[in-house]
Amino acid sequence: MSRRVVITGMGTVNPLAHDVEGTWRALLECKSGISKTELFDASTFPSTFSAQVKDFDLSRHVDNAERHATAGRHCGFAIAAAVQAWKQAGLADCDRLDAERLGLYLGSGEGSLDFDNFTSLLVDAWSENQVDTREWAELALDRMDLWREIEQDSNMVVAHLAAEFGVRGPAFNVLTACAASTQAMGEAAMQIRYGDAEVIITGGAHSMIHPYGVTGFNRLTALSTRNDEIESSSRPFDLTRDGFVLGEGASVLILEDYDFAVARGADIFAEIIGFGSSADAFRITDQDPAGDGAADSMRAALEDAGLEPADIDYVSAHGTGTQQNDQVETKAIKQVFGDLAYKVPVSSAKSMLGHLIAAAGATELITCVLALRDQVLPPTTNYHTPDPVCDLDYVPNEPRQAKLDIVMSNSFGFGGQNDTLIITHPS
């Protein structure tokens, strides 16, 4: 028998705030989390700005921060977000929870490299116009922190969270680029449906605001270079958009078997009723320009939920602000919704949050839960010049009251990975 899956806890650390309610207030007040990059000197880069998490201190969230001293920046975000979600779900005092029925499924990225140390090793091992590999190895063994190097592996966030919460059930990590946390949440929901776990900690974490990450996206011409208009640089669906803004953060949700949640008296915030996933099979970085892959993902989620397009009240768009993504997503929505595409509101929180890469989908699903709760749509800010190709209702520049019962959230990743979730009010 397929079990119902509900959301009972949420937590986040992102460029707007270090908690859920602060994030929601900032979104409805149309605040920008984008500023000049401070994590490294980006003054000579084509993009000198990003959406950074500022003033973060893990010790404000846990008593044993030293236990995670070797963890990457994104891992600290994930631990803090998970602690928030765990407390909100009331699991800290739950004596019904069996650790072997507690799972973990994240979409988390790799940690950031120690570029200062790496550069120093290169310089010191340089000999006769090339690196002396023997000297390099000796210096590396002497200077490099083994534990910090191991922590670059993307599964290390799962390892830290498993230790923090005593997870002994299924534990997974997926890294499908910008779709990672949506895929993780969808597959976590399936684990509960099939009875493999009663509770799963899920979501995503990523931090790529370092020279390597920024260089890669700049070389792909994916980032905005609007250095003279930093706060308004993220412009999803606007004709003048010129790329996304690289962000960082983590968001975590607690998913539970509905019957288990009810039995323990948990507050239920929303129910996951549909999940769809597809691959473009087109090109390593570009989406299928026809939008077929993205459309397939939305259709699969609708079929999984037993719904028709007319049942959807709002679409939380992937909406990165690149020329291609926004055109393709608009085409895909039109494929799926037909004439109804012009009636369903669509908006992108990335206009304020920036693009949190693997953490984006989980952060945006939290905004969907809050939209259901408060019956209000978060806006797409910085939308001033309509694009004839992107001609839907993007909820421009200010929040809007709306009657919401069922909402859809899209995430699309490099490599052609597409994932869609559908949630509704608990009943």
CB crowding 259-287: b at 16 or more within 10 Å, else e: ebbeebebebbbbbbbbbbbebeeeeeeb
**Of the candidates 346, 311, 351, the residue with the CA atom closest to the CA atom of residue 331:** 346
User: Could you tell me if 137 and 275 lie in one domain?
Assistant: no
Residue 209: helix, strand or coil by DSSP? coil
User: Could you tell me if 226 and 121 lie in one domain?
Assistant: no
Q: How far apart are CA 270 and CA 185, in angstroms?
A: 13
User: Could you tell me if 107 and 136 lie in one domain?
Assistant: no
368 is a catalytic site residue: no
Which DSSP state fits 326? H
Catalytic residue among 68, 74, 318, 368: 318
Q: How far apart are CA 39 and CA 50, in angstroms?
A: 10
Q: Please report, for residues 86, 209, 247, the alpha-carbon distance to residue 7 in angstroms, rounded to integers and kept in the order given.
A: 11, 30, 25
Longest dimension (CA), the chain: 72
Residue 287: the pLDDT is: 86
User: Could you tell me if 122 and 218 lie in one domain?
Assistant: no
* pLDDT tens by residue, 234-259: 999 999 999 999 999 999 999 999 99
160 is a catalytic site residue: no
355 is a catalytic site residue: yes
Q: How far apart are CA 2 and CA 108, in angstroms?
A: 27
User: Could you tell me if 76 and 131 lie in one domain?
Assistant: no
User: Could you tell me if 187 and 331 lie in one domain?
Assistant: yes
Q: What is the CATH number of the domain that holds 382?
A: 3.40.47.10
User: Could you tell me if 96 and 244 lie in one domain?
Assistant: yes
User: Could you tell me if 141 and 158 lie in one domain?
Assistant: no
User: Could you tell me if 24 and 129 lie in one domain?
Assistant: no
User: Could you tell me if 171 and 244 lie in one domain?
Assistant: yes
Catalytic residue among 61, 210, 355, 368: 355
Q: Which of the listed residues 90, 124, 148 is the one where a domain comes to its end?
A: 148
Report how many domains make up the chain.
Answer: 2
Per-residue pLDDT in tens (0 to 9) along the chain, 427 residues: 589 999 999 999 999 999 999 999 999 999 999 999 999 999 999 999 999 999 999 999 988 888 887 788 899 999 999 999 999 999 988 888 899 999 999 999 876 665 666 677 778 888 878 888 888 788 877 766 555 555 566 788 999 999 999 999 999 999 999 999 999 999 999 999 999 999 999 999 999 999 989 999 999 899 999 999 999 999 999 999 999 999 999 999 999 999 999 999 999 999 999 999 999 988 877 788 999 999 999 999 999 999 999 999 999 999 999 999 999 999 999 999 999 999 999 999 999 999 999 999 999 999 999 999 999 999 999 999 999 999 999 999 999 999 999 999 999 998 889 999 999 998 7
Catalytic residue among 178, 210, 368, 390: 178
Range of the domain at 33: 5-113+152-424
Residue 427: the pLDDT is: 76
The pTM is what? 0.93
Residue 148: the pLDDT is: 55
Q: Which of the listed residues 124, 148, 172 is the one where a domain comes to its end?
A: 148
* pLDDT tens by residue, 22-64: 999 999 999 999 999 999 999 999 999 999 999 999 999 988 8
